[in-house]
Chains A and B, each alone.
Chain A
Amino acid sequence: MTKTSDQAGAATGPGAAGAGIADELLGFLAARTKTTWEHDQDLFAVGGMSSLFAMQLVVHLEKTYGITISGADLMLDNFRTVDAMVRLVHKLGGDRAAAAAGTTAGE
Chain B
Amino acid sequence: MSEATAAGGTEPWPEELFTDLVGDRAAEWDRTGRIPLDTLRGLGAKGLLCAQAPAAHGGLAFSSRRNGELTAHVGALCSSLRSVMTSQGMAAWTLRRLAGPGQQAALVPRLTGGELAAVAFSEAGAGSDLSALRTRITRDGDEVVVDGAKVWTTNAAYADLLVVFGRTEDGAGAVVVPVSAPGVRIERIEDPLGCRAAGHADIRLDGVRLPADALLQGVDRTPALLVTTALAYGRMSVAWGCTGILRGCLTAAARHAKAREQFGVRLADHQLVARHLAGLLVAEQSARRACEHASDLWDEGSPDMVTAAVLAKHVAATGAARGAARAVQVLASAGSRDGHTVARALRDAKLMEIIEGSSEICELMLAQHALATAG
* Chain A residues in the interface with B (C-beta under 8 A): 32-35, 49-60, 62-63, 70-72, 74-77, 79
Contacts and interface: CB of A to CB of B under 8 A. Distances in A.
Interface residue tally of chain B, by bracket?
Answer: 35 or more
Contact of A71 (B216, B221, B375): B216
B328 interface: no
17 contacts: A35-B375, A52-B306, A52-B368, A53-B306, A55-B225, A55-B228, A56-B307, A58-B229, A59-B302, A63-B303, A70-B96, A70-B98, A71-B98, A71-B99, A71-B103, A74-B98, A76-B221
A105 to B, nearest CB: 14
Given A70-B98, A75-B225, A59 B372 contact: no
A17 B306 CA distance: 28
A34 B220 contact: no
B132 to A, nearest CB: 15
Given A51-B228, A59-B303, A71 B374 contact: no
A55 B232 contact: yes
A42 B365 CA distance: 20
A70 B375 CA distance: 31
B100 interface: yes
B219 interface: yes
Contacts of A60: 303
Nearest to A34: B375
* Chain A facing B: main interface SS: helix
A56 B221 contact: no
Given A35-B375, A49-B372, A55-B225, A72 B218 contact: yes
B224 interface: yes
A74 B97 contact: yes
Interface in B216-238: 216-222, 224-229, 232
Given A33-B373, A34-B373, A53-B372, A59 B225 contact: no
Contacts of A56: 303-304, 306-307
Interface in B30-78: none
A33 B216 CA distance: 33
Contact of A70 (B97, B222, B365, B369): B97
B220 A57 contact: no
A74 B368 contact: no
Given A33-B373, A71-B99, A76-B225, 5 more contacts: A53-B306, A58-B229, A60-B303, A72-B218, A74-B97
B225 to A, nearest CB: 5
B138 to A, nearest CB: 19
Nearest to A75: B220
Nearest to B366: A52
A52 B310 contact: yes
A75 B373 contact: no
Contact of A74 (B221, B226, B300, B304): B226
B215 to A, nearest CB: 11
B303 A72 contact: no
Contacts of B305: 59
Contacts of A62: 301
